[in-house]
Amino acid sequence: MQTYKISINDTKEFYKNLDCDISGATILSKKSKIHTLYIKNIHVGAANILKQDALSIGADLAVPSGVIIAKDKYVDAVLIGTTKHFETLARKELAQPFGLKNLAKALKDYVKEHDFKTKIMGVLNANEDSFYKNSRFDNSQASFLIEKMIEDGANIIDIGAVSSKPGSIAVSEDIELERIKEIVDTIYKSKYYEKVDFSIDSYSPKVIDYVLNHGFKIVNDITGLQDDEVCKITASYNATVVIMHMQNNPSNMQKEPFYENVILEIDDFFVNQINKAKDFGIKDIVLDVGIGFGKTLEHNLILLKNLEHFCHFGHELLIGASRKSMIDKIVPSLTEDRLPGTLAIHLESIRNGASIIRAHDVKEHFQAIKVFEAINSIN
């Protein structure tokens, strides 16, 4: 007999290849993935009930000392268990008091599996003040750059005409439309929208209406649907919307950003904005935690490490950290020297649940993602 430690990604497929029967493979798959769920401000009574229920099925709940004697009325705890454990607890806690019914409903969402194909969103900027100069272009370069991005492996091309870098100032709708109109017309006349999906990086109703009427399919709104008119227009074209989180606005977002709990506050934001989008009739929603938009380096790192949390919404997750200053804060580097750091962030984001990667360097990302996927496809 010989042994060796293995890493399994597609557990269900692995157990089928091991010649387990189909029902057995499903059961074993649910026992193979471990989840750790942080529970904030749980009633001490609920903590004691959940602890006992968890232990009874082989899971566990980490709690502070003193919980058993109800030293504090509310505590923080960490639930540890497999997918199978969470599904079992989701049923058991439905009949329990102290808010455990709400927890039971949440547990189901945390273990749902989603199979979104990884997509690369290439970035092009029709303005002169974008923080990365190599992404800037005008109509004379439009066809060449779009065709190159398609050839390099882009699934989506995101075009913007207003800088959103820290300290940037917004421009009028007319100026924004003037910057992008010829480029959009070229895309429409050349029918590039038949080869790749186009996204508009804008929160201007006038601009969004124009581009959606000219072949664009995605609205990438850094304000996260604050404008009702943007909601109406997006819904009327049955377009996809990217809801991004940003604290404050580009002109002041990096002036001492603060959160009590960055994950929970962004989660609350998404709950509200998803409901708003659905109320307006928007069906296809993508979520973006907004790396670098009103966040410190620590906030960004926390979000990237715990990105899987936001999978519970059931929507695709977009990450755009391409060449951003957080890399410079870790390893001092100029914007043009941050590709290695960008790839590290984006590959880790895919591992943690992201399926859309917004990047300046499409060709390099295509290769890196294909290699990453090849490694992870081996069982």
DSSP string, 291-357: TTSS--HHHHHHHHHTGGGGGGG-SEEEE--TT-HHHHHHS---GGG-HHHHHHHHHHHHHTT--EE
Q: With a cut of 70, say whether residue 265 has pLDDT above it.
A: yes
Task: For residue 375, give every residue at least 6 positions away whose Cβ sits within 8 Å of its Cβ, in sequence order, or none.
Answer: none
Region 178-187: mean pLDDT is: 93
Task: For residue 252, give every residue at least 6 positions away whose Cβ sits within 8 Å of its Cβ, in sequence order, or none.
Answer: none
Out of 12, 92, 324, 338, pick the active-site residue. 324
Predicted pLDDT at 130: 56
Predicted pLDDT at 309: 97
Stated as kind and residue range, the H or E segment containing 221 is strand 218-221
pLDDT band at 7 (very low <50, low <70, confident <90, very high): confident
Predicted pLDDT at 86: 97
- CA 282, CA 36: separation in Å to the nearest integer? 32
* Angstrom distances, CA of residue 81 to CA of 12, 26, 185: 18, 17, 54
Q: Where are the domains of the chain?
A: 33-110, 119-377
Is the pTM here over 0.85, yes or no? yes
Per-residue model confidence as pLDDT tens digits over 315-328: 999 999 999 999 99
Active site (annotated) includes residue 358: yes
List the one residue out of 176, 128, 166, 171 whose CA is nearest residue 251.
166
Task: For residue 287, give every residue at least 6 positions away whose Cβ sits within 8 Å of its Cβ, in sequence order, or none.
Answer: 242, 243, 270, 274, 310, 313, 315, 316, 317, 318
Task: For residue 104, give every residue at least 6 positions away whose Cβ sits within 8 Å of its Cβ, in sequence order, or none.
Answer: 89, 90, 91, 92, 93, 94, 96
Distance, C-alpha 50 to centroid of its chain: 30
Torsion of CA 189, 139, 150, 158, to 10 degrees: -100
- CA 322, CA 318: separation in Å to the nearest integer? 12
List the one residue out of 289, 280, 363 whose CA is nearest residue 321.
289
Give the DSSP letter of residue 136. B
Predicted pLDDT at 134: 59
- Looking at per-residue pLDDT, the higher value among 144 and 343 belongs to 343
List the one residue out of 79, 81, 83, 80 whose CA is nearest residue 28.
83
Per-residue model confidence as pLDDT tens digits over 183-230: 999 999 999 999 999 999 999 999 999 999 999 999 999 999 999 999
Out of 16, 92, 119, 358, pick the active-site residue. 358
Cβ–Cβ < 8 Å for 175, 136: no
Predicted pLDDT at 162: 84
**Per CATH, the architecture of 119-377 is what?**
Alpha-Beta Barrel (3.20)
- CA 138, CA 179: separation in Å to the nearest integer? 8
Cβ–Cβ < 8 Å for 240, 221: no
Predicted pLDDT at 129: 60
- Looking at per-residue pLDDT, the higher value among 26 and 375 belongs to 375
Both tokens of 256, joined, read 């001492």
Active site (annotated) includes residue 232: no
Share of the chain above pLDDT 70, in %: 97
- CA 131, CA 125: separation in Å to the nearest integer? 10
Fold of 33-110: Ribosomal Protein S8; Chain: A, domain 1 (3.30.1370)
- Residue with token string 């059931």: 314
Predicted pLDDT at 26: 86
Cβ–Cβ < 8 Å for 308, 352: yes
Query: Could you tell me which residues are beta bridge partners of residue 80?
Result: 36, 60
- CA 173, CA 166: separation in Å to the nearest integer? 20
Predicted pLDDT at 366: 98
- Looking at per-residue pLDDT, the higher value among 138 and 25 belongs to 25
Phi, psi dihedrals of residue 277, rounded to the nearest 5°: -60, -45
- CA 357, CA 283: separation in Å to the nearest integer? 21
Region 235-243: mean pLDDT is: 98
Report the 10 Å Cβ neighbour count for 64.
12
Query: Which ranges in the chain belong to alpha helices (H)?
Result: 11-17, 22-32, 44-56, 83-92, 100-110, 139-152, 173-189, 205-212, 228-236, 262-279, 297-305, 325-330, 339-351, 362-377
